[in-house]
Structure 1
Amino acid sequence: MNLQIRKAVRKKAKLRLGMAGPSGSGKTYSALLLAFGLGGKVGMIDTEHGSGDLYADLGDYDIINIDAPYTVKKYRDAIKAFEDAGYDVIIIDSLSHAWAGEGGLLDKQGKIADSGKPGMNSYAAWRTVTPEHNGLVEAMLTSPCHIIATMRSKQEYVQDKNDNGKTVIKKVGMSPVQRDGMEYEFTVMFDIDTQHVASTSKDRTRLFDGQYFTITREQGTQLLEWLEEGEETLQTISVSQRDELLKLLTEAGLSVRKFCQKYEIDQISSLPASLFDEAKASICEYREKKLERLKQQAAERRNAETEEECEKGEDGL
């Protein structure tokens, strides 16, 4: 393997933002304000039984509703639908259902583990479920759109003092309802409490470190300015071109990893648009040669079988 040393360079990027909070903290409302601050066409994937329509007065946005069962395929199909339609920002509200909702990954893992199939147990079931989870993460990270994903927080009740010194019971949010470590997939992770006050548990932009604030469109605008500060990135292939290459690679029996190594990219969606025709032609050429080899091998087998039958016939004379 040839290892290349290069200078670190900030490049323009798309937002990957997670937002966690308990019920009533204002996640949907805050996500919309951030999206409007980012600008462009906004699409929302709504798993919260139509709650996305409650904020239609805030601005122009479109919705795809997802109902139970909350399968990863439904999420990925909705993301792709917005991508293909040319949206700029996709809000996933809520990502928690893909994990802990009816038909979500935890539900699927439990059913597989309890299926009674030989050799099947809880650990073996994760071998089936984990690739689906990774596929959803990949769909978010490689999207050409800005992604804002809300997650419910596990809730806990604590005693606190109010401004008058009186003891009160407060509902606080703990870790997000998603697979452990999901928060590390995002560029920025906002935590919101029941008073609608936000803070960051992770912030690669360093815009909001140590701050407590109520989310407005302004934070979306700040994030957009930061994302646009880097160098211009090469124009990469479209979502439909990415899917076309993936289909061709599968049909040809080629490894996606080796394809990425050949073009020195980390994922297929990073392939420069200028190389699409070359890559497609290369895969098609390999596929045709492979089919030709298979036909030749089949013909040789038939000839060998024919010769063998003839020899048996001669031996019987």
Structure 2
Amino acid sequence: MPTAKTESSTKRASTNIAGNACVQIMEVTMFQKAQRSSSKLRLALTGPAGSGKTFSSLQIAKGLGGRIAMIDTERGSGSLYANIVDYDVLKLDPPFEPRKYIEGIKAAEEAGYNVLIIDSLSHAWAGEGGILTLHDRTAKAVRNSFDAWREVTPQHNQLVDAILASSCHVIVTMRTKTGYEVTSEHGKTKVSKVGLAPIQREGLEYEFTVVMDLSIEGHVATASKDRTGIFDGTRLTPSPAMGEGLLNWLNNSEISTETGKISDADRLAEIFAQLGLNDDLWEEYRGYVCERYGVCAMKEMNARQVDEQTTLLKQCLALEKKRAQFSEILRDRKLAA
């Protein structure tokens, strides 16, 4: 017959065993092995005016595939690129209240679009009727800036939540504050326009899968944030190939960030193809590049050389005269071979 002390010890032991079992059950039910499943893209393109945000967003959307919708706050400029890819536009006029953006997002989802471009998200913050306007109006009414932020912040958060929860791939563009950089090149002073912080609430960029900063010269993009690992340390011109690479990463849980990367040669090939020159001139172009930089293959080019060729091809794409001159040079090379 057990003593009182033994009975007490037995009860404590039983309690401990039961408690440990409970912890073990909780560990099994609450924690699971982390596995990445297919998901939707959340991409932000930032840059000053003239950096090619709208054009770049459409190029990437083309690579993602499916029907494309655009919320246009840029006074109809979103329709200027209808020759690039088929897409539908919803034009937003002032006031740029977050509520109107949210309604547009919901409409795109209900219509079954695969990709939604919001061009530009900056108007929801600093545009007429945006968050800053709402804050100023509220601050005058309550005579307290802090209380005013408490009133308008939920509206901003609702817009962010609508973007993050959307069933569409979402690409947003954001203007950046413009600054000027003075550099010396070949003994000459050069003044370049550069983008600074995005015109939106501080920290918003951390909500996105990828954030690409676009430059005015050559419309070259660099990743300031990249959860995919595809674009780390690279400079590229946005193209459908970029959209295809992102889609592959989003849909394939086993993809390596190395194999998902788009090579510099592929990026240049994408731009070259847009020139509409004969396919045989591509080989002449490759030979020209290798000869110019003293490399055996285009993959051996460094970042500066890639940027130089990207700018050249983009200029040929924009200027008919320059494209004709470039085509003539390549044809002369072929005849001389």
| Cα RMSD (Å) | 1.3
Ranges in structure 2 where 5+ consecutive residues have no aligned partner: 1-22, 255-337
2:205 aligns to what? 183
Alignment of structure 1 residues 289-308 onto 2, 5 Å: none
Q: Check if 1:45 corresponds to 2:68.
A: no
Question: Could you tell me which residue of structure 2 aligns to residue 197 of structure 1?
Answer: 220
Deviations 1:41-71 (A, max 9, x none): 0000000000011100001000000011000
Q: Give the TM-score, by structure 1 length.
A: 0.70
Show CA shifts across 1:184-218 (max 9, x none).
00000000011111000100000000001111111
Residue deviations 1:124-161 (CA, integer Å, cap 9, x gap): 00011111111001000000100000000111111012
After the TM superposition, list the runs of 4 or more consecutive aligned residues in structure 1 that deviate by more than 3 angstroms. none
Which digits, 9 at most, give the CA deviation of each residue in 1:90-132, with x for residues without a partner? 00000000000000000100110012x4xx4100000111111
Shift of 1:165: 3.2
For the pair 1:58 / 2:84, whether they are aligned, the reply is: yes
With the length of structure 2 as denominator, give the TM-score of the two structures: 0.66
Q: Kindly indicate whether residue 166 of structure 2 is the aligned counterpart of residue 143 of structure 1.
A: yes
Task: Identify the match of residue 177 of structure 2 among 129, 154, 157.
Answer: 154
Q: CA deviation at 1:166?
A: 1.2
Cα deviation code 1:262-312 (max 9, x no counterpart): xxxxxxxxxxxxxxxxxxxxxxxxxxxxxxxxxxxxxxxxxxxxxxxxxxx
Give the greater-gyration-radius structure (CA): 2
Name the counterpart of 1:171: 193
Which secondary structure state, in structure 2, belongs to the residue aligned with residue 157 of structure 1?
strand
Aligned residues: percent identity? Answer: 53
Q: Please show how residues 72-221 of structure 1 align to structure 2 within 5 Å.
A: 72-115=98-141, 117=142, 120-162=143-185, 164-195=186-217, 196-221=219-244
Aligned AA (2:74): E
User: What are the ranges of 5 or more consecutive residues in structure 1 without an aligned counterpart?
Assistant: 232-317
CA displacement at 1:5 relative to structure 2: 1.7
**C-alpha distance in structure 2 between counterparts of 1:227 and 1:38, whole Å:** 10
Higher RCO (CA 8 Å, separation ≥ 6 residues): 1
In structure 1, how many angstroms separate the alpha carbons of the residues matched to 2:52 and 2:148?
A: 35
SS class of match (2:236): coil
State the shift of 1:230 in Å. 2.4
Pick one of 56, 60, 65 that aligns with 1:30: 56
Deviation at 1:226, TM superposition (A): 0.3
Q: State the distance in 2 between where 1:134 and 1:230 align.
A: 30
Offset at residue 219 of structure 1 (A): 0.4
CA distance in structure 1 between the partners assigned to 2:187 and 2:168 by the alignment = 47
C-alpha distance in 1 between matches for 2:181 and 2:114: 40
- Match for 1:174: what amino acid? L
In the aligned structure 2, how far is the partner of 1:83 from the partner of 1:146? 10
Aligned AA (1:44): M
Counterpart-to-counterpart distance in 2, 1:131 and 1:111: 16
C-alpha displacement at 1:6, in angstroms? 1.3
